[in-house]
Amino acid sequence: MHRQPLLDQLADYAAKHPDETETVGRFIDFVRTEGDCFERSLAVGHVTGSAWIVNADGSQVLLTHHRKLDRWLQLGGHADGDPDMFAVALKEAREESGLSDFAAVIEGIFDLDIHPIPARKSDPEHLHYDVRYLFRATGATDYVVSDESHDLRWVPLDEVTTLTTEDSMTRMVRKTPGL
């Protein structure tokens, strides 16, 4: 089954984060029951992949001021049928930042979040089941702002809350290991 590798990663994540049982359970149920969970055409929601990108010493994170949502967020996007969420997150990191060199900081999933996306044009309100991975930028850190963003910015971890107080963002700040 093409969903099994993600289900295995979710089980590993659940074992490491017993305090997130409710979110992990909802996530696993969705992936198990929705055969098209990686397709954005699934109207109720779909799995997405995101990258929490830190600089070389781990003191800053690269955030995007998302054009459609008009909020500061981590980089990421739709799987478009690809069940390899790590590859999706890495692809999105490269496409949305113009950076090319990354290394995974930890093995497996860094964070999970399920959040609503408002209705827009012909798309109804739906849920993003977001799988997040922690990357370190290992090469040049001069980014390029893509069409999907108003802006990109390296933000000191202790200043993320000046741009957003969303729980999913502050949770990732708290989870970021001292590198």
**H or E segment to which residue 6 belongs:** helix 4-16
Whole-angstrom Cα Rg for the chain: 15
3-class secondary-structure state, position 50: strand
Q: What is the CATH number of the domain that holds 129?
A: 3.90.79.10
Would you say residue 2 lies in a domain? no
Would you say residue 61 lies in a domain? yes
Would you say residue 54 lies in a domain? yes
**pLDDT above 70: residue 178:** no
Pair of tokens at residue 129:
């089941």
Residue labelled with tokens 């739906």: 126
Distance CA 73, CA 140 (A): 21
pLDDT digits (tens, 9 = 90+) for 65-118: 987 778 899 999 999 999 999 999 999 999 999 999 999 999 999 999 999 988
What per-residue confidence (pLDDT) applies to 1? 63
Distance CA 19, CA 136 (A): 26
Q: Which whole number is the average pLDDT over 41-66?
A: 95
Residue 44 belongs to domain spanning:
37-175
Which residues on neighbouring strands pair with residue 78, listed in sequence order?
A: 48
Q: How many domains does the chain have?
A: 1
What per-residue confidence (pLDDT) applies to 146? 81
Separation of CA 91 from chain center = 12
**What percent of the chain is predicted at pLDDT more than 70?**
98
Would you say residue 9 lies in a domain? no
Predicted TM-score of the model (pTM): 0.94
Would you say residue 13 lies in a domain? no
- State the chain's mean pLDDT as an integer: 94
